Amino acid sequence: MEPRCPVVIDPNGHDIHAEGSRIHANGPISRIELPGGVLAWSVTGHDAASAVLTDRRFSKDPRKHWDDFLAGKVGEDFPLIGWVLMENLTTAYGTDHSRLRKPCANAFTPRRVEAMRPRVEQHTAALLDELAAGAPGEVVDIKSRFAHTLPSRVICELFGVPEEDRLEMLRGGEVNSDTTISPEESAANFARWHQQMLDFVEAKRRAPGTDLTSDLIATMDQPDGLSPDEIVGTLHIMLATGTEPVKNLIGNAVAALLTRPDQRKLVEDGSASWDDLIDETLRAEAPVAHLPFRFAVEDVTVGGVTIAKGDPVLINFAAVGRDPGAHEGPAEFDVTRPDKDNLSFGAGIYRCIGQSLARLEAQVALPALFERFPGITLAVDAEDLRPQGTFIMNGLDTVPVRLQ
Ligand code: HEM
């Protein structure tokens, strides 16, 4: 079948940067075809993204503002249906959004997150001890064994998820980000994941603890409090976003240093800081690649195009960080570049709630890993590193290393 617009998105995310360049060649905001034949706009320009992210005429609520979805033209066979059906602050608009955002945002203010530093350091040290106990020369996937385990332990502990349930509850979020699975698998995963969360909330209701899930449950009795479904929706997003993009930030930063000896030297000898590495990774390898949805509430002219009321829009953060109009030699990974500014945590009223926590985790994890294992090397050739298999996240499938 003839594609209906110049760039048809690859569900496997084989090369999201090359794809981002192709989309950008058609303009900072241009048409794309998503898997399932759904037409959308992709925003790849830095200024255009900034404008869309801060414009209240874009909603995040498909149930109110995505005309094709409301007309029944987007069905269960759309591979991103999990992100559409999910009811939480990422799919809410206006006062619904602010009511859902407030209890979470309050828990992740920079001051509260800074108070978590000692605990993040403890988790990091424990994980490094586990890694050090391995056989010398053993090949270890640092993504699954460290970049994933650190944020997942932190977020599960904050929300009081018992250890025995963690694997399953986090797995639901991982599968939801996999754009290569069939729509049936995606729907079945979402149903299973949702039920697990319902059971968990019910258990917490009966036996509250000193965790954020119990705090959310306590709001149920207040006038603007959350309903049980809204608590489940909030857990979906907090557990998934608390883990997935952070593991990609840490995994991508580690891979960037292990594949570029000059950059590693600059960071290790102090010519550039670990924060420089984090910012450059956020810019050049944005962990959230092509999400979340926006829907035009009315016809909006922005970035030289008119987006019709009801049209879906995706911010292509991976391409925005490499906009040649905003960055010199944008594909080059350079921790010393002065123009590392990025929008990889979003902007405006929907900006990432977990930004401070994600930064803290990376600030603790990265120097600790390289200081504990100064001989760490990649265990495969750089060209054998494979992408994760999704176009909505930007990460590597595995990062195999030798620690010593
Ligand atoms: C490197 C790690 C992370 C990156 C790159 C990232 C990126 C993003 C982006 C791009 C958005 C969308 C903003 C928008 O819609 O305009 C977002 C939203 C969000 N993030 Fe993060 N995130 C990260 C880590 C986290 C963590 C650790 C948490 C939880 C503790 C979190 C919780 C959220 C939530 C709840 C939202 C929805 C905000 C809203 O709709 O109002 N994120 N994030």
Q: Are strands 7-8 and 400-402 parallel, antiparallel or unpaired?
A: unpaired
- Is the model's pLDDT at 46 over the cut of 90? yes
- Is the model's pLDDT at 274 over the cut of 70? yes
- Is the model's pLDDT at 220 over the cut of 90? no
- Is the model's pLDDT at 361 over the cut of 90? yes
User: What does the pLDDT average to over 334-345?
Assistant: 97
Give ligand 1 pocket residues (Cβ under 6 A): 53, 89-90, 101, 104, 108, 155, 237-238, 241-242, 245-246, 249, 287-288, 292, 317, 344-346, 350-354, 357-358
CA–CA dist 359, 373 (Å, integer): 21
User: What does the pLDDT average to over 341-356?
Assistant: 97
Task: Read off the pLDDT of residues 189-206 as tens digits, 9 standing for 90 and up.
Answer: 778 888 888 899 999 999
Task: Read off the pLDDT of residues 304-329 as tens digits, 9 standing for 90 and up.
Answer: 999 999 999 999 999 999 999 999 99
- Is the model's pLDDT at 392 over the cut of 90? yes
Q: What is the mean pLDDT of the chain?
A: 93
Model confidence at 183, pLDDT cuts 50, 70, 90, reads: confident
The CA 1 to ligand 1 mean position distance, Å, reads: 36
- Is the model's pLDDT at 342 over the cut of 70? yes
The CA 270 to ligand 1 mean position distance, Å, reads: 30
Q: 276: closest CA among 266, 286, 285?
A: 266
DSSP state of 196: H
- Is the model's pLDDT at 85 over the cut of 90? no
- Radius of gyration of the CA atoms of the chain, in A: 21
User: What does the pLDDT average to over 180-194?
Assistant: 81
Which residue ranges form the domains of the chain, and what is each CATH number?
A: 7-402 (1.10.630.10)
Ligand 1 atom 31 nearest Cα: 354
The CA 104 to ligand 1 mean position distance, Å, reads: 11
Q: Is the Cβ–Cβ distance between 17 and 398 less than 8 Å?
A: no
Ligand 1 atom 27 nearest Cα: 242
- Is the model's pLDDT at 248 over the cut of 80? yes
Pocket test for ligand 1, best of 237, 352, 394 (most atoms within 8 A of CB): 352
For 100, 106, 114, 189, 352, the CA distances from 110, given in Å and listed in that order, are 19, 10, 6, 34, 12
User: What does the pLDDT average to over 78-107?
Assistant: 89
Q: What is the DSSP string of 96-157?
A: HHHHHHHHHHHHT-HHHHHTTHHHHHHHHHHHHHHHHTSPTT-EEEHIIIIITHHHHHHHHH
User: What does the pLDDT average to over 272-301?
Assistant: 97
Ligand 1 atom 18 nearest Cα: 352
Model confidence at 30, pLDDT cuts 50, 70, 90, reads: very high
Residues 6+ apart with CB under 8 A from 329: none
The CA 190 to ligand 1 mean position distance, Å, reads: 20
User: What does the pLDDT average to over 380-402?
Assistant: 96
Predicted local distance difference test score (pLDDT) of residue 225: 85
**Of 162-176, 245-259, 340-354, 386-400, where does mean pLDDT reach its minimum?**
162-176
pLDDT above 70 as % of the chain: 99
User: What does the pLDDT average to over 174-180?
Assistant: 76
**Torsion angle in degrees (nearest 10) through CA of 250, 254, 255, 258:** 180
- Is the model's pLDDT at 1 over the cut of 70? no
